[in-house]
Structure 1
């Protein structure tokens, strides 16, 4: 498998659209709480924040259509509803969160300006990039992403090699792997895979690349490059959080911990580097989300460029509005939405990666239906109704780990294929 310049440009562009606010802020605190169990936590986090998103990109490479194709085997109506939910969640939660993080970590400490001003300027620039979307791959892949990667890698390497102190303190997690996996939900990377994967495909078409096999190879290779970058950053930041766990006492916030790590590794100039990093990482993710949403709505309304522009403007206005809330609040609000949409997204990615012989429409319908049904207890528990669903969670495997849907969905997949195989014979 050969990797050329085009592969790395597309790969870094994909990496930058994945790597946003949550990707930067979540791993250090996860490592801090994990302590000596940091490796187990990392494994769980990598599953939901790297492996599943990479499978999502591979699924896009196989389909090379729009996000509607991900669920079309269930039904056209379900596919449309699913896509609308994903895009609504994307432009109302992770996209505004990027502006909120940028304000808290990169603007307010230096300038003391209001969040309204930060969000307004921020999303005005996002809109500028989205309108000029034909240049997105080049700008992100050649310039912004390498800067992001180098700065984060500097923090990680200096942190690892500048201290001989052993990792102290036991893990606060009873099930480190599960805790890491669920925290990976908050990166929105699986949802990001189905959103920004379409951006890559459309960007390639705008450049005149319409060879299916060539695009498939390029998308898969770029996904591997992006996945490798995410793996290095996540593992390194989790390890750094665990490594410096003895230097932070009390209830440390995500932004406070990230600022503290940059100060300890890069010194006073670390704040400036971190500000640049946060701004770039968040900005590229917002561009990817708004572009993906605008692309989708454009396709729904007959390839209308006017709809593309209107959707981009609405996405940016929502970003300015929701960006006024602090990061912690946005993360908490996201939990119920993730408990419902994430399992469906993971299952759709898995089904689209498997060979077609194992995933006829009937299998799609059955597995997705079971996933939705068994995600409801997790959804109810996340909105404060856990006592109501405890009897159900008690009898389901992983029921008390917010994974009540997992085993029933996999059993349904195997059982449906067995039944269809018997009928065929």
Structure 2
């Protein structure tokens, strides 16, 4: 694989992950962390960037996203992929990207509701860019991503060269445990589950660009993951620093989008809104293109469905949901995503296991404790059980109570296999 294609694929991967949430979340973290930003950002990067990068590397070693569930019964593996791609695609991730692009990029310029025409244009553009999967590197990695990086660089340089305010003392949990708080917030970005979905796109792109042997694919995937991790880390650090030095424009801000909008208005004046609109729309567009392509690639490989046909269905559902039922769909999809994220991570962790039985046990164990974490995050856990879990279940307050049971299942399986080498594991 040529170095230029490798760089372009890494930039494409960065753009696929860089949704609006990735841009507007760090400013709030920076504002709240204040002088504890280095520790908070370190924790955040470990989970928000480290987990997705690790997932891409593992998928590269497997040479296929499908191999992640190959040891499971066929119907369970198929159900997992259908649920995951539906949840992060047309049921939740893509409609949210469309509405965020509209609300932050287009709505400020109009006095009337333009969501429907914007959605039509946005979905058509998404379809055209996802129509030919082999062209994603050319469209996104070589054209859109450099433009997006230049826009982000303008924000970053302005924050570094001319910060608005001095960094304040940390607030909330960042006062006593900034590293742990950063770890939790990074985990809650759910980019790890996006990495499992985007794996279809990344591995296919690597294969189409000249990497043919398993070793070449694994090597290229590792380098692509490193490029993604560097670019995303720089973006997060810059946006976090901007938030930490924007106290005067962040009064009563409930999310990073408000901080970002106020910052560009003060720093760039009348052109600030145009800059912000360009960044948000491009970030959301690359995400919807990547998710459409991931859904289409999976359906082509699994059900032999033509890519254009699947892409058309995905963008149509996205447009309908974005306009007529986003809140209801989010309410229904969010619990599924909160459960699917640890399940996907557990499959990545268990990917080197030779036993299908062990992989299934890891998945089922994680599913049970993932439901516990989802109920906790959603505030649906009964008070009595909540108290019990807080006192007795490790990592419950970090929304990762699944991690230790998952590890225990794998350690037990390894120990049993070594004690009984003739057993079938």
TM-score > 0.5 by shorter chain: yes
Q: Distance in 2 between matches of 1:183 and 1:331?
A: 20
Aligned mate of 1:270, from 264, 269, 272: 272
Structure 2 segments unaligned to the other structure (5+ residues): none
In the superposition, the TM-score normalised over structure 1's length comes to 0.89
1:401 aligns with 2:398: yes
Shift of 1:166: 2.7
Other structure's SS at 1:424 match: coil
Which residue of structure 2 aligns with residue 350 of structure 1?
Answer: 349
Q: Distance in 2 between matches of 1:232 and 1:406?
A: 28
> What is residue 184 of structure 1 aligned with on the other side?
186
| 1:73 aligns with one of 66, 71, 74 | 71
**Offset at 1:68?**
2.8
Q: 1:106 Cα deviation (Å)?
A: 1.2
Equivalent pair of 1:185/1:342 in contact (CA under 8 Å): no
Contact 2:347 2:362 in 1 (8 A): no
* Structure 1 segment 19-418 matched on structure 2, within 5 A: 19-65=18-64, 67-91=65-89, 92-112=91-111, 113-163=113-163, 165-173=165-173, 175-185=177-187, 187-206=189-208, 209-301=211-303, 303-305=304-306, 308-324=307-323, 335-352=334-351, 356=352, 359-386=354-381, 387=383, 389-390=385-386, 391-418=388-415
Q: 1:218 to 1:208 in 2, by over 3 A?
A: closer
**Aligned counterparts of 1:328 and 1:262: Cα–Cα separation in 2:** 29
Q: Is the 8 A contact 1:263 1:270 kept in 2?
A: yes
Deviation at 1:126, TM superposition (A): 0.5
CA 1:196/1:15 → structure 2, altered by over 3 Å: closer, same or farther? Answer: same
Distance 1:251 1:325 in 2: 28
Judged with a 3 Å threshold, the aligned counterparts in structure 2 of structure 1 residues 190 and 368 are, in CA distance, closer, same or farther, namely same
Counterpart CA distance in 2 for 1:272 and 1:84 is 38
Say if 1:77 and 1:176 are closer, same or farther in 2 by CA, change over 3 A: farther
TM-score (normalizing by structure 2): 0.89
Task: Render the CA deviation track for 1:392-418: whole Å, top value 9, x for unaligned.
Answer: 343101212212112222222223212
Over 3 Å counting, the alpha-carbon distance change for 1:19 and 1:244 in structure 2 is same
What is the Cα deviation at residue 159 of structure 1? 0.5
Say which SS state the counterpart of residue 195 (structure 1) adopts: helix
Q: Which moved more, 1:117-126 or 1:164-173?
A: 164-173
Deviation at 1:87, TM superposition (A): 0.6
Q: Deviations over 1:244-297 (max 9, x none)?
A: 134321243432222122234434322211111111111011000011001111
8 Å CA contact 1:343–1:375 kept in 2: the answer is yes
User: What does the per-residue CA deviation read over 1:347-369, in whole Å, with 9 as the maximum and x for residues that have no partner?
Assistant: 222223xxx4x553333223222
Superposed displacement of residue 328, structure 1: 9.2
Residues 166, 245 of structure 2: 8 Å contact kept = yes
Change (3 A) 1:107 1:413: same
Once the two structures are superposed, what CA deviation does each residue of 1:332-389 show, in whole Å capped at 9, x if it has no partner? 776423321111112222223xxx4x55333322322221121222222234322253
- Greater shift, 93-102 or 206-215, is seen at 206-215
Shift, 1:134, TM fit: 2.2
Structure 2 vs 1, CA of residues 373 and 186 (structure 1 numbering), >3 Å: closer, same or farther?
A: closer
Provide the C-alpha distance between the structure 1 equivalents of 2:266 and 2:415, rounded to a whole number of angstroms.
56
Query: What is the CA–CA distance in structure 2 between the aligned matches of 1:323 and 1:343, rounded to whole Å?
Result: 26
- Cα distance per residue 1:302-358 (max 9 Å; x no partner): x332xx333212211222123238999987776423321111112222223xxx4x5
Task: Give yes or no for contact 1:190–1:346 (8 Å, CA) kept in 2.
Answer: yes
Q: 1:64 to 1:243 in 2, by over 3 A?
A: same
CA contact 1:28–1:238 (8 Å) conserved in 2: yes
Per-residue CA distance 1:98-154 (angstroms, 9 max, x = gap): 111110111111234521111111001101111122211111111111111121122
* Change in CA separation of 1:83 and 1:393 when aligned onto 2, cut-off 3 Å: farther
Query: Which residues of structure 1 form unaligned runs of 5+?
Result: none
Equivalent residues, number? 416
